[in-house]
Amino acid sequence: METLKLSGRDFFWPPADELTEAAERIRARLGDWPRADRDWRICLAAPDTAGNDDLIVVIGRAAEPDDAAAWRAAGAGLVEARTDGATLTTAAGERFVLEGTLAEDWLAALAAFLDCGFEPHDALVLALAWRDGDEAHGADAWPIDLSRFPRIAGLPAAPAQPFPVCPPRLGLYPVMPSAQWVERLLALGVETVQLRLKDATPAQLEDEIAQAVAAGRRHGAHVFVNDHWREAAQAGAYGVHLGQEDLETADLAAIAQSGMRLGLSTHGYFEMLRALHFRPSYLAFGAVFPTGTKTVATAPQGLARLERYVRLLGAHVPLVAIGGIDLARLPAVLATGVGSAALVSAITAASDLGEAVERLQQAFIA
């Protein structure tokens, strides 16, 4: 298959035949992935001219500040490898600091995962989860042993009080724009719903959340509130759902003390590890498919990635797939082993709400 061929491509600078051969050998055991959109180049020495597709690797020492600044100004990323891990610094100045084991062929693994279409920070996570010889362990050698994955350095401590557990398979998980929609879904027998409000005044926000939470109590259902954790805690919500950006500002200790469950959004391996550190009640992966209901900075994940996320984390935390999922796509999503799927337009745009919900519920039973 042409997508597995790395030889003949300028994947390493200076050219390194042995590394290229190792990368191709690893790549051939990672499954059928389309070739990456970008022609990455891993530079083991500073190139004469750095560019946007270059990752410059410095091993055993920190890069000189002037060199690092010049490479970043040219659009290149920097990987600084240590005996206990590696740090990626992007051209925009984002830093991804990972602690873990570097296999002898970690650079070859990094090239292989980049070729599978992963962004450098996620490819680096996977490269640190790789162990020498993994490519000899079957047709699909994808890393799925969580104990081998690196740790993210510099994270604040997780709340002392763990977040409460939620059902291991949340099933159909509609994400609705109002308390009225929440009530309608609960009346049809849906057991888990998220209220995601946009552009509400403080008074409207408090009232909508209170109504949705009260409806959840009447129906014995699980009502999560998106983002607004203070109002959700005040109303006694079952849970709250936060994005990665909210981890910087939300008081996770206060959320845990309130007794609410916590769901966290993730968009790749680095964000998964970051979210797991805080011991959430569930993790959401997305967007699986293109979606018009929310602006997402990352490209769609697709089913192949979702299936591997499930293999890695399915035994550790409940998982939710989200983004562009409808009735036609739902069976393929559930075939990955994920225990829940969040839907928006497939419900709000349905001409017959009752029939739509029944057919969606049946997909989880089939």
**Within a domain: 119:** yes
Is 55 annotated to bind ligand? Answer: no
Examine the domain organization and report whether 62 and 180 are in the same domain: no
Is 39 annotated to bind ligand? Answer: no
Q: Is the confidence at residue 1, as pLDDT, over 50?
A: no
Examine the domain organization and report whether 135 and 245 are in the same domain: no
Is 286 annotated to bind ligand? Answer: no
Is 132 annotated to bind ligand? Answer: no
Examine the domain organization and report whether 147 and 177 are in the same domain: no
Q: Is the confidence at residue 82, as pLDDT, over 90?
A: yes
**What does the pLDDT read at residue 34?**
84
Is 324 annotated to bind ligand? Answer: yes
Examine the domain organization and report whether 114 and 43 are in the same domain: yes
Is 265 annotated to bind ligand? Answer: yes
Q: What is the mean pLDDT of residues 92-104?
A: 97
Task: Look over the chain and give the mean of its residue pLDDT values, rounded to a whole number.
Answer: 95
Q: What is the mean pLDDT of residues 238-256?
A: 96
Angle at the Cα of 52 (from 48 to 56), degrees rounded to 5?
Answer: 55
Is 246 annotated to bind ligand? Answer: yes
Backbone angles phi, psi at 208, to 5 degrees: -65, -45
**What does the pLDDT read at residue 63?**
95
Whole-angstrom Cα distance, residue 47 to residue 161? Answer: 50
**Within a domain: 216:** yes
Examine the domain organization and report whether 353 and 235 are in the same domain: yes
Examine the domain organization and report whether 52 and 148 are in the same domain: yes
Q: What is the mean pLDDT of residues 108-134?
A: 97
**Within a domain: 197:** yes
Here the CATH number for the domain that contains residue 325 is 3.20.20.70
Examine the domain organization and report whether 213 and 335 are in the same domain: yes
| Count of C-beta atoms within a 10 Å radius of residue 342 | 25
Examine the domain organization and report whether 59 and 183 are in the same domain: no
Is 291 annotated to bind ligand? Answer: yes
**Within a domain: 165:** no
**What does the pLDDT read at residue 291?**
83
What is the extent of the structural domain holding 340? 171-365
**Within a domain: 163:** no
Is 3 annotated to bind ligand? Answer: no
Examine the domain organization and report whether 250 and 338 are in the same domain: yes
Is 145 annotated to bind ligand? Answer: no
**Within a domain: 299:** yes
pTM of the shown model? 0.95
Is 344 annotated to bind ligand? Answer: yes
Q: Is the confidence at residue 326, as pLDDT, over 70?
A: yes
Please give the order of strands across the beta sheet that includes 151-152.
Answer: 12-13, 41-43, 54-59, 77-82, 85-89, 95-99, 151-152
pLDDT tens-place string over residues 267-292? 999 999 999 999 999 999 999 999 87
Is 4 annotated to bind ligand? Answer: no
Domain count, the chain: 2
Examine the domain organization and report whether 88 and 211 are in the same domain: no
Query: Residue 308 — very low, low, confident or very high, per pLDDT cuts 50/70/90?
Result: very high
Q: Is the confidence at residue 4, as pLDDT, over 60?
A: no
pLDDT tens-place string over residues 146-172? 999 999 999 999 999 999 999 999 999
Is 7 annotated to bind ligand? Answer: no
